Amino acid sequence: QVQLVESGGGLVQAGGSLRLSCAASGSFFSINAMGWYRQAPGMQRELVATITSAGSTNYADSVKGRFTISRDNAKNRVYLQMNSLKPEDTAVYYCNADIRKFSVSPLRNYWGQGTQVTVSS
Distance between CA atoms of 30 and 53, rounded to whole angstroms?
9
pLDDT band, residue 104 (cuts 50/70/90): very high
* The pLDDT value given to residue 78: 98
Distance between CA atoms of 64 and 59, rounded to whole angstroms?
6
pLDDT band, residue 84 (cuts 50/70/90): very high
Average pLDDT over the chain reads 97
Selection from 38, 9, 44, 33 nearest residue 97 by Cα: 33
Cα torsion 82, 119, 35, 3: sign:
positive
* The pLDDT value given to residue 48: 98
34-56 pLDDT tens trace: 999 999 999 999 999 999 999 99
* The pLDDT value given to residue 59: 98
